[in-house]
Chain A
Amino acid sequence: MLSEDTLYLSVRELGEQIRGGKLSPVELAESFLARSEELGPKLNAYATVTRDLALQQAHAAEKEIAAGHYRGPLHGVPYAAKDLVAVEGYSTTWGARPLAKQSFNYNATVIEKLNRAGAVLIGKAAMIELAGGLGYSAGDASLTGPCKNPWNMKYWTCGSSSGSGAIVSAALAPWAIGSDTRGSIICPTSWCGISGMRPSFGRVSRHGAMAIAWTMDKLGPMARTADDCGLILSVLAGHDPLDFDSLPAEVSDFAYSAATAESAKPIRIGRLTNVWNQQEPGLQAAVDAALKVLEKNGATITDVEMPDGPYEEAAELTILMESASAFQELIVSGRCAELIDPVGQINGYASQEFSVGDYLQVQRVRTFLQAQVDKLFERFDVLATAGESSAAAPLSAPPEEDSAGPIERRAPDGVSSLCGLPAISVPCGLSKDKLPFGVQFIGRALDDHAVIAAARLFQGH
Chain B
Amino acid sequence: MIAAGEQETGAPKLTPEQSRDVDAKLANIIRKYGERLTEQQRKHLRKILAYNETMLVPIRAYALQNGDPPVTVLKLSSGKSKE
Residues of A within 8 A of B (CB): 215, 241-242, 244, 310, 313-314, 316-317, 320, 334, 337, 342-343, 345-347, 349-354, 358, 360-368, 370, 402-404, 407
Contacts A364-B70, A403-B48 known; A317 to B55 CB distance under 8 Å?
yes
CB of A314 to closest CB in B, whole Å: 6
CB of B28 to closest CB in A, whole Å: 6
Selected from B49, B62, B75, the residue in CB contact (under 8 A) with A244 is: B75
Query: Digit string of B49-82 for contact with A (CB within 8 Å is 1, else 0)?
Result: 1111001101110101000111110010000011
CB of B2 to closest CB in A, whole Å: 14
The CA-CA distance from A293 to B50 in the complex, in Å, is 45
Q: From A358, which residue of chain B is reached at the shortest CB distance? A: B56
Q: From A420, which residue of chain B is reached at the shortest CB distance? A: B71
B48, A350: Cβ atoms under 8 Å? yes
Contacts of A351 in B (CB 8 A): 52
22 residue pairs from A and B, CB less than 8 Å apart: A215-B71, A241-B81, A241-B82, A241-B83, A242-B82, A313-B58, A317-B55, A317-B59, A343-B44, A343-B48, A346-B37, A347-B48, A350-B25, A350-B48, A353-B49, A358-B56, A363-B72, A364-B71, A365-B62, A367-B69, A368-B62, A403-B51
B64, A361: Cβ atoms under 8 Å? yes
Q: Is B1 an interface residue (CB 8 A)?
A: no
Q: Is B41 an interface residue (CB 8 A)?
A: yes
Contacts of A403 in B (CB 8 A): 10-12, 47-48, 50-51
CB of A321 to closest CB in B, whole Å: 10
Contacts A353-B28, A361-B62 known; A345 to B51 CB distance under 8 Å?
no
A350, B49: Cβ atoms under 8 Å? yes
B45, A349: Cβ atoms under 8 Å? yes
Q: Is B29 an interface residue (CB 8 A)?
A: yes
B48, A364: Cβ atoms under 8 Å? no
Count residues of B near A (Cβ-Cβ below 8 Å): 35
Inter-chain contact total with CB atoms closer than 8 Å? 95
Contacts of A365 in B (CB 8 A): 59, 62, 64
Residues of B within 8 A of A (CB): 10-12, 25, 28-29, 32-33, 36-37, 41, 44-45, 47-52, 55-56, 58-60, 62, 64, 68-72, 75, 81-83
Q: From B64, which residue of chain A is reached at the shortest CB distance? A: A364
Contacts of A361 in B (CB 8 A): 59-60, 62, 64
The CA-CA distance from A366 to B59 in the complex, in Å, is 9
Contacts A215-B71, A241-B83, A367-B71 known; A362 to B59 CB distance under 8 Å?
yes
The CA-CA distance from A99 to B2 in the complex, in Å, is 33
Q: From A406, which residue of chain B is reached at the shortest CB distance? A: B12
The CA-CA distance from A244 to B44 in the complex, in Å, is 36
Selected from A317, A345, A362, A364, the residue in CB contact (under 8 A) with B69 is: A364
Contacts of A343 in B (CB 8 A): 44, 48
Selected from A317, A337, A342, A370, the residue in CB contact (under 8 A) with B44 is: A342
Contacts of B83 in A (CB 8 A): 241
A215, B72: Cβ atoms under 8 Å? yes
Contacts of A242 in B (CB 8 A): 82
Contacts A360-B70, A367-B70, A403-B50 known; A313 to B41 CB distance under 8 Å?
no
Q: From A342, which residue of chain B is reached at the shortest CB distance? A: B44
Contacts A310-B58, A354-B52 known; A366 to B71 CB distance under 8 Å?
yes
Contacts A346-B37, A368-B68, A402-B51 known; A358 to B45 CB distance under 8 Å?
no
CB of A213 to closest CB in B, whole Å: 11
Contacts A334-B36, A346-B44 known; A353 to B59 CB distance under 8 Å?
no
CB of A208 to closest CB in B, whole Å: 15
Contacts of A244 in B (CB 8 A): 75
CB of B14 to closest CB in A, whole Å: 12
Q: From A316, which residue of chain B is reached at the shortest CB distance? A: B55
B68, A320: Cβ atoms under 8 Å? no
Seed contacts A215-B71, A241-B83, A346-B45; 14 additional CB < 8 Å A-B pairs: A215-B72, A310-B59, A313-B56, A342-B44, A343-B44, A346-B37, A349-B29, A350-B49, A358-B56, A361-B60, A364-B70, A403-B10, A403-B11, A404-B10
CB of A187 to closest CB in B, whole Å: 20
The CA-CA distance from A345 to B42 in the complex, in Å, is 12
Q: From A363, which residue of chain B is reached at the shortest CB distance? A: B70
Contacts of A407 in B (CB 8 A): 55
CB of A136 to closest CB in B, whole Å: 13
